Amino acid sequence: MFEFKKSPDFRENFKRVFSERCVEKYSRDPKDLDYHELYDVLGTMVRDYANVLGKKCKEEVKENNNKQLIYFSMEFLIGRLLSTNLFNLNVLEDVSAALKEMGIDYDVLKEKEPDAGLGNGGLGRLAACFLDSIASLSLPGHGNCIRYEYGFFHQKIRDGKQMEFPDTWLQEGFPWEIRKPNDSVIVRFYGNPETYRDPVTGEVRWRTTNAYCVRAVPYDVPVIGYDNEVVNTLRLWYAEPCEETLPSSTDFNGYLKFIRDITHGLYPDDSTEEGKLLRLRQQYFLVSSGIQYAVRREKELYGTLNHLYDHYVFQLNDTHPIMSIPELMRILMDENGYGWDDAYRIVSRCFAFTNHTVMPEALEKWPCRYIASVAPRVYMIIEEINRRTLQKMRDDKIDERAIQNSLVISDGNVNMCQLAIHVAYSVNGVANLHTEILKAQTFKDLYAYYPQKFTNKTNGISHRRFLLVANPSLSHYLEDLIGPSFIKDPSKLQNLMPLADDKHIDVYRKLNEIKRSNKLRALSLIKESSGLEVDPDSIFDTQIKRLHAYKRQLLNLFHIIHLYLKLKSSPTASIYPHTYIFGAKAAPSYIYAKKIIELILAVSRTIEADEHVRKYIKVVFLENYDVSKAEVIIPASDISEQISLAGKEASGTSNMKFMMNGAVTLGTLDGANVEISNFVGEDNAVIFGMREEEVKAIKFNGTYNPFDIYNSDPQIKAVMDSLLDGTFSSDHEQFRMIFDEIMYRNDEFMVLKDLESYLQGCKKIETDYLNRDKWGRECLVNIACSGWFSSDRTIAEYNRDIWHLKKIH
């Protein structure tokens, strides 16, 4: 085992051990291996050293009887691990230099690592950033997720449309994981709950018979903290056949398919009942696996579960893991003999819940019959929680209307958020505006009943990955300006603010120079991903996030169409060159989102075919956008598009990544944009559009009609008509769905209502950009204020207010 520690002879020792490991695994010298094999050897070397450190951390937690965190999330969008792990071990530059001396290009080697197929959007990226910060703050906290064989999907653009293919991220192996069969547990689906009399106590107990039994086997991935010898674990559960007897009616091949489906892919298509049931089975598989293992460990160490809450806190990242609450109740009562009151006392002190949405349609509800089928005993416990909370609220003389809004079960559905809020000891939103909406609107009655449970924890990002590793030219320059203290304490970026006094023109120009160098670095990725060649001196205007109507990629696109029509109307017209960059995946069953991607691609093709317009506008769609592409595009971007309808985005985190890399926000006052604009001030961000209270009032009064704008504004009418008049497709009906959604379904996310304000905001931010020294100062202010948006700050707040974990050494 090679120790990745700085020392005078580090490089020589590394080269020797690396060569030995190449021979031991592949029977060849490094010079005879391809880069995939070289990556595999280096990854396993780092993993083995991390596991040694991880053992010491686990032993310390055990010896001191310390509490640890289990962070349940259906996704962890971890991206590539090699560079971040080497950076956190403080040896990235040394390893790169040593490999160079061996004739190996580290930049080529690192590209052989695939992005792990464990996530899709902001929820998973947030979870990954949190794990990085938990370890870097020396806290004992571990992730629990599913080991998805084929990820979400691999996006390919074919004939101007998104096509979905399997994400074969495990095809070449995943050197970071270790299979732990001794830690496996059995998860039981379906079956028949029945009572029996306990032969020892004589009490009536419950058990489930005739169940589908699945073996859950964990694969552990080390999570390395920065420069502190702390290593935690991301545990990935994988479904395998179980040796227990199958139900008599079960076909063996059907059983194997049942198992394969559980860990086949992230977020299966839920447009069918079977797809919905599969999602539910995945959720239950994850939480049952993780809870069972925690309970088993607790019993082995302490012989009792009476004080489980002193040793574990379970953080539920959004609604997907909420079934862990009744599952722990089931395990305590059915398998360990606890009565309801004692079990509930334990459970209600173990769980904390993070809500990530305010949109009612996104608040997870499951038909009662689904849960009653997949996990029948769990459903019985949910029914009892509902009955008891209903009775307690009535005993407390709560208004009946408020009680009906707070029910765990209503209209034949289980309301997962209500379940979590009633039982968990903490409920948090993820940005100030989001949390206030939860308290005032979404969960108004539950907040009135449990005000002490609700807190805000504004999201954050890993500055190590998205600044220090992804943008070394910028981070090195910042180190020259203010020293290295911000590496461990990102709040020290605030020390840049004295330079924002209009006297440091050289600093602003250097920041502009670094931005241009990052644009040059991004050109090859843009060419490879979209086929387009772009001008590095153009404005890089970027919107990269999951494709959803509320995120309003259409608003961005309508502005581009407006510019296109303006340039087409006058052959002598010109604008400053812009490169508009989109990166997004649309869920396979989300037809409207996929149609928006079609329109983006059609607009791009149309512009590229026009010799005049393409001199001024490029529209780039990054195929199969992922974390690795983000690490290239974000440092190269000038403008950060954060344009969701006010009150719809819980937080957003791409806004923070752009800000930290010196991009200026063009956005609505939604999510964490509110905090960003407060920090940087109105001169260093461009805010447009309606405020949340205006949106709420218009919706309530029903005063918005998109036809009023369509008929009164010729420019907007021209944009909408271009969807149907053959401007972007010879098939005039191809984009009818988008036209109808805006015009005839009352423009749910008020794209046209905000469009004029957005067009003005686009003009203002372009004007700011063209004053290059002023723009450099704006970039500096954004970077200086970004330290507060590090996930280190977020995690410190979680631990101070919710988890109360003690640091490892």
| DSSP letters spanning 142-188 | EEEEE--SS-S-EEEEETTEEEEE---TTTT--TT-EE-GGG-EEEE
Give mean pLDDT, residues 654-666. Answer: 98
Which position among 464, 657, 777, 793 bears the catalytic label? Answer: 657
For residue range 293-311, list pLDDT tens digits in order. 999 999 999 999 999 999 9
How many other CB atoms are there within 10 angstroms of residue 769's CB atom?
A: 18
CA dihedral 468, 469, 470, 474 (to 10 degrees): 40
Which pLDDT score is estimated for 249? 74
Tokens of 579: 């490169």
Under 8 Å between Cβ of 656 and 122? no
* pLDDT at position 59 over 90: yes
* pLDDT at position 401 over 80: yes
* pLDDT at position 143 over 90: yes
Which pLDDT score is estimated for 516? 98
CA dihedral 713, 715, 716, 718 (to 10 degrees): 120
* pLDDT at position 221 over 80: yes
* pLDDT at position 247 over 80: no
> Cα dist. 678→47, 662, 685 in Å?
42, 16, 10
For residue range 530-565, list pLDDT tens digits in order. 999 999 999 999 999 999 999 999 999 999 999 999
For residue range 346-360, list pLDDT tens digits in order. 999 999 999 998 887
Closest CA to 116 of 87, 145, 94: 145
Which position among 142, 279, 422, 546 bears the catalytic label? Answer: 546
Tokens of 92: 């990235």
Per-residue confidence at 119, pLDDT binned at 50, 70, 90? very high
Can you give the three-state secondary structure of 474-496, one letter per residue? HHHHHHHHHCCHHHHCHHHHHHH
Which position among 551, 562, 595, 793 bears the catalytic label? Answer: 551
For residue range 483-511, list pLDDT tens digits in order. 999 999 999 999 999 999 988 999 999 99
- The reply to whether 180 belongs to the active site is no
- % residues pLDDT > 90 (the chain): 95
How many other CB atoms are there within 10 angstroms of residue 14's CB atom?
A: 24
Tokens of 266: 């992230």
- The reply to whether 653 belongs to the active site is yes
The H or E element spanning position 665 is strand 664-667
For residue range 745-789, list pLDDT tens digits in order. 999 999 999 999 999 999 999 999 999 999 999 999 999 999 999
Which pLDDT score is estimated for 243? 85
Which pLDDT score is estimated for 200? 86
Which pLDDT score is estimated for 361? 76
Under 8 Å between Cβ of 72 and 314? yes
The H or E element spanning position 136 is helix 122-136
* pLDDT at position 248 over 80: no
| d(C-alpha 195, C-alpha 334), whole Å | 10
- The reply to whether 657 belongs to the active site is yes
> Cα dist. 294→142, 276, 300, 321 in Å?
11, 28, 10, 15
For residue range 150-199, list pLDDT tens digits in order. 999 999 999 999 999 999 999 999 999 999 999 999 999 999 999 999 88
Which position among 84, 263, 319, 653 bears the catalytic label? Answer: 653
Which position among 58, 356, 510, 566 bears the catalytic label? Answer: 356
| SS3 assignment, position 409 | strand
For residue range 681-711, list pLDDT tens digits in order. 999 999 999 999 999 999 999 999 999 999 9
Which pLDDT score is estimated for 448? 98
Closest CA to 486 of 234, 790, 267: 790
> Cα dist. 498→13, 662, 781, 784 in Å?
44, 16, 10, 10
Per-residue confidence at 806, pLDDT binned at 50, 70, 90? very high
Q: What DSSP state is assigned to residue 216?
A: E
Per-residue confidence at 245, pLDDT binned at 50, 70, 90? confident
| d(C-alpha 500, C-alpha 507), whole Å | 9
Which pLDDT score is estimated for 502? 81
Tokens of 786: 């970004």
In 210-350, beta strands by DSSP E: 212-224, 231-241, 312-317
Under 8 Å between Cβ of 525 and 722? no
Which position among 545, 552, 559, 618 bears the catalytic label? Answer: 545
Give mean pLDDT, residues 110-120. Answer: 96
> Cα dist. 361→36, 135, 365 in Å?
44, 35, 9
Under 8 Å between Cβ of 148 and 263? yes
Which pLDDT score is estimated for 492? 98
Identify the sign of the CA torsion 788, 75, 592, 411: negative
Q: What DSSP state is assigned to residue 461?
A: B
Give mean pLDDT, residues 121-130. Answer: 96
Q: Which residue bears the tokens 């995120």?
A: 551
* pLDDT at position 731 over 90: yes
Q: Are strands 365-367 and 351-354 parallel, antiparallel or unpaired?
A: unpaired
Length of the chain: 809
What residue spans of 266-399 are helical by DSSP H? 273-302, 308-311, 324-330, 340-347, 368-374, 376-395
Give mean pLDDT, residues 21-31. Answer: 98
- The reply to whether 389 belongs to the active site is no
Per-residue confidence at 323, pLDDT binned at 50, 70, 90? very high
For residue range 527-539, list pLDDT tens digits in order. 999 999 999 999 9
Which pLDDT score is estimated for 702? 96
What is the distance, to the nearest Å, from the Cα of residue 274 to the centroid of all Cα atoms in its chain?
A: 26
- The reply to whether 464 belongs to the active site is no
Per-residue confidence at 208, pLDDT binned at 50, 70, 90? very high
Q: What b/e readout covers 21-38, taking b as 16+ CB neighbours within 10 angstroms?
A: bbeeebeeebeebeeebb
* pLDDT at position 410 over 90: yes
CA dihedral 321, 325, 328, 333 (to 10 degrees): -150
Closest CA to 131 of 197, 54, 224: 224
Under 8 Å between Cβ of 514 and 638? no
- The reply to whether 16 belongs to the active site is no
The helix/strand count (H/E) of the chain reads as 33, 23
Per-residue confidence at 572, pLDDT binned at 50, 70, 90? confident
| d(C-alpha 575, C-alpha 578), whole Å | 8
Give mean pLDDT, residues 57-64. Answer: 97
Per-residue confidence at 317, pLDDT binned at 50, 70, 90? very high
Per-residue confidence at 251, pLDDT binned at 50, 70, 90? confident
- Please give the backbone phi and psi of residue 644, each rounded to the nearest 5 degrees, phi first: -65, 160
Tokens of 34: 């391809």
Give mean pLDDT, residues 230-235. Answer: 98
